[in-house]
């Protein structure tokens, strides 16, 4: 249901109109096509990336005389391969500049002459010259960059540098025909000019159109809407709607979409935004308008199923009858009919049977199967198991399929069929290896991967990721910068190359999410990558299926920023580092400055009152919750505290970290702890239930992706991972 899902939560990248950037025949379009057609692929950089990793984190194999030696960067800087040599020299130069050693940087940039990296090398040389006070030399290098690479993304650095002396260069950077309008340097100029002329809409609109995914774009929407509403075009309103949608400000999103360029999607989101924002009358009116204006569009049928929940049952059933004419949405319409009829205490057998018979493989059929399995669980494990098996067989890609596969095993065990239970656990581990239920299945199979009561004592070794695999989109220069872990430079290139912001392809969304992670924009990056599974354009599901089989995708989805501080904090409290990583990924998505509506702050979402209490306990003064090491120190102490409160039961400790010990104590008293898997399902707070599964699922993924012992244990299951029809 991609219409309801943001692909970049908290930002507006997907909805950006980017006027003047995305035209097929734009100057940047021509440049990018030529670069991609004419440049050689970025082979030859794997050695440089491996040397960089080895330099930062020497592996245990380094002491093994039989192990393959990793040549140092300085040796690779003399390579006969131009790309290898240039890559190593570029990395060494950036390292020198980071410690203000411009002379060494300039030395390394000599003979870094491979065409793929030459434009970034020139930009870096000018930076080194400027750091050394040689403005004349920097200006000469910028002029060379302009002459040799007149439309390269790196040339934006030259225009910006030259513009510090002569503003005409800045005018060129933000001109209507500029190929760099979305480059960070152009955005910086736009912000400067907005500050100089805040009484005009021009620069507000520039930032909306060319930086809709910027973290601070929300700062410009209020003044733009309140002071310059007449200057906002329908296309701009679509961008504003998407920004609010991705920030989950649904009422504002609906209002913006209602003013956007008429389209089925915009009309649907105008209604859905109002519905989610609690504006029932507006939602009803907008859904009716959608159905009237675009009666044949798939969105109209989807809108009918939404509207059916807002109107009297008789009218709702009539709407659903109309929706049944659209084969795409007929399954959802049938499911909604079953709900209405059940609430009205009317027979729904015919609709249910039609859903299972005609649309057995639909997500709606999977929804109903799991609903029926849960209803049967307390009275008939046999019936529950049959519904779960049917879901796994007929809806193997359903989001509840891992849960159903695992519980088919649990219910088989309750019925005394241990062989069937073991088969279900193996199926879950093989077919859904990234899921929380794969971990639970591994535990049931007796694998040493840590259980609820033993995670705390585990001290797994988490190895650094291997050298980066190429991105699915981007020019050879961008690819080279990314593989060299020059994340800021790669991201700046992408801001110019990414011209399809309104409707990104699968490859573009994947690339954008990955580069955002490297640029420290973890929330947006993780959601862009996670939401690839919900894309519905032709070929997207096949591309996601391929990505799902690729460990590179999962490593990108489970990154390890702030690793040194996390490892130190876990070690100090004798906590499992994979568990701490998993908790931080869930709490803050690694956003160091994030603040919740409850005023929890930072990586581990520490409340100021909790932070003060812990700090007093441990004698920690002069801390800042936004500072990662400080936040981790306080958060890991509190996670240790919740573990001590519950006898090192990580399930209860993690639940208490989210919901508080008082709630957990009440649930323990109410449900008992004899069956901890059932306890998780019975947690009455849906937020805490999801939180526990996500944190422990994250723990599992960090373990399987980065721990060699776990990878060895799972190898037999990965080798025998052919699709199966039943658990």
Residues assigned a catalytic role: 587
What DSSP letter does each residue of 316-331 carry, written as one string? HHHHHHHHTTSTTTHH
342 is written with which tokens? 């059940």
Distance CA 247, CA 573 (A): 36
Are 131 and 158 spatial neighbours (Cβ–Cβ below 8 Å)? Answer: no
Which residues are paired to 595 by β-bridges?
Answer: 601
Which residues are paired to 601 by β-bridges?
Answer: 595, 606
Contacts of residue 620, Cβ cutoff 8 Å, sequence gap at least 6: 614, 630, 633, 634
CA-CA-CA-CA dihedral for 401, 405, 410, 412, to nearest 10: 130
Angle between helices 349-358 and 363-377 (to 10 degrees): 130
Task: Choose among 562, 481, 549: nearest CA to 515.
Answer: 481
Contacts of residue 155, Cβ cutoff 8 Å, sequence gap at least 6: 119, 145, 146, 149, 180
Contacts of residue 208, Cβ cutoff 8 Å, sequence gap at least 6: 217, 220, 221, 224, 236, 239, 240
What DSSP letter does each residue of 578-620 carry, written as one string? HHHHHHHHHHHTT-TT-B-TT--BTTTTB-HHHHHHHHHHHT-
Task: Choose among 577, 552, 558: nearest CA to 471.
Answer: 552
**Helix, strand, coil percentages in the chain from 3-state DSSP, rounded to 5:** 65, 0, 35
8 is written with which tokens? 């970049």
Q: Where are the alpha helices (DSSP H) in 110-227?
A: 118-131, 135-148, 155-163, 168-173, 184-196, 202-210, 218-227
Long-range contacts of range 364-368, CB-CB < 8 Å, 24 or more positions apart? Answer: 364/331, 364/332, 364/334, 364/335, 365/331, 365/335, 365/394, 365/395, 366/391, 366/394, 366/395, 366/398, 366/400, 366/401, 367/335, 367/398, 367/400, 368/335, 368/338
């Amino acid at each position: 249901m991609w219409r309801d899902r943001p692909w970049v939560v908290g930002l507006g990248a997907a909805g950006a109109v980017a006027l003047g950037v995305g035209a097929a025949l734009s100057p940047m379009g021509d440049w990018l096509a030529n670069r991609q057609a004419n440049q050689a692929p970025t082979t030859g950089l794997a050695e440089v990336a491996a040397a960089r990793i080895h330099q930062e984190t020497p592996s245990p194999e380094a002491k093994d005389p039989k192990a393959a030696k990793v040549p140092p960067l300085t040796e690779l800087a003399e390579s006969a391969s131009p790309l290898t040599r240039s890559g190593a020299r570029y990395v060494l130069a950036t390292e020198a500049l980071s410690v203000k050693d411009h002379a060494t940087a300039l030395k390394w940039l000599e003979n870094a002459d491979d065409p793929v990296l030459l434009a970034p090398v020139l930009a870096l040389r000018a930076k080194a010259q400027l750091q050394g006070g040689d403005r004349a030399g920097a200006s000469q290098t910028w002029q060379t960059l302009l002459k040799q690479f007149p439309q390269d993304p790196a040339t934006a650095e030259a225009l910006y540098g030259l513009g510090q002396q002569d503003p005409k260069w800045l005018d060129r950077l933000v001109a209507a025909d500029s190929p760099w309008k979305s480059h960070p340097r152009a955005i910086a100029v736009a912000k400067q000019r907005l500050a100089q002329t805040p009484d005009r809409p021009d620069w507000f609109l520039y930032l909306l159109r060319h930086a809709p995914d910027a973290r601070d774009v929300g700062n410009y929407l209020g003044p733009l809407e309140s002071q310059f509403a007449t200057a906002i075009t329908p296309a701009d309103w679509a961008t504003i709607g998407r920004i609010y949608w991705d920030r989950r400000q649904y009422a504002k999103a609906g209002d913006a979409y209602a003013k956007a360029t008429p389209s089925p999607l915009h009309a649907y989101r105008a209604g859905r935004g109002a519905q989610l924002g609690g504006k029932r009358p507006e939602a009803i009116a907008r859904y009716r308008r959608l159905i009237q204006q675009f009666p044949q569009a798939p969105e109209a049928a989807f809108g009918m199923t939404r509207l059916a929940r807002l109107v009297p049952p008789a009218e709702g059933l009539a709407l659903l009858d109309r929706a049944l004419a659209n084969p795409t949405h007929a399954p959802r319409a049938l499911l909604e009919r079953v709900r209405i009829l059940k609430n009205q205490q009317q027979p729904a057998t015919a609709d249910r049977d039609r859903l299972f018979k005609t649309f057995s493989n639909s997500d709606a059929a999977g929804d109903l199967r799991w609903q029926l399995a849960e209803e049967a669980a307390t009275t008939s494990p046999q019936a529950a198991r049959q519904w779960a098996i049917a879901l796994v067989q007929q809806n193997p890609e359903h989001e509840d399929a891992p849960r159903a596969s695992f519980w088919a095993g649990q219910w088989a065990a309750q019925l005394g069929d241990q062989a069937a239970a073991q088969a279900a656990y193996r199926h879950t581990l093989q077919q859904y290896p990234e899921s929380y239920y794969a971990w639970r299945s591994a535990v049931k199979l007796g694998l040493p991967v840590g259980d609820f009561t033993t995670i705390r004592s585990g001290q797994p070794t988490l190895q650094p990721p291997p050298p980066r695999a190429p991105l699915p989109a981007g020019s050879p220069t961008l690819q080279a910068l990314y593989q060299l872990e020059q994340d800021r430079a790669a991201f700046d290139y992408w801001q110019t190359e990414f011209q399809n912001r309104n409707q990104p392809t699968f490859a573009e969304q994947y690339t954008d999410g990955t580069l955002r992670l490297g640029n420290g924009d973890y929330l947006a990056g993780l959601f862009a990558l996670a939401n690839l599974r919900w894309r519905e354009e032709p070929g997207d599901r096949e591309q996601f299926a391929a990505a799902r089989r690729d460990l590179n995708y999962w490593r990108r989805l489970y990154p390890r920023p702030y690793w040194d501080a996390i490892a130190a904090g876990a070690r100090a409290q004798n906590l499992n580092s994979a568990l701490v990583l998993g908790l931080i990924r869930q709490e803050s998505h690694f956003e160091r400055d994030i603040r919740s509506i409850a005023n929890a702050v930072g990586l581990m979402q520490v409340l100021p009152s909790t932070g003060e209490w812990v700090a007093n306990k441990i004698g920690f003064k002069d801390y800042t919750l936004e500072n990662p090491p400080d936040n981790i120190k306080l958060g890991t102490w509190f996670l240790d505290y919740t573990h001590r409160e519950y006898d090192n039961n990580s399930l209860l400790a993690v639940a208490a970290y989210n919901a508080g010990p008082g709630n957990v104590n009440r649930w323990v008293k109410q449900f008992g702890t004899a069956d901890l898997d059932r306890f998780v399902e019975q947690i009455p707070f849906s937020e805490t239930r999801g939180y526990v599964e996500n944190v422990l699922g994250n723990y599992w993924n960090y373990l399987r992706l980065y721990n060699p012992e776990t990878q060895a244990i799972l190898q037999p299951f990965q080798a025998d991972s052919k699709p199966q029809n039943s658990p």
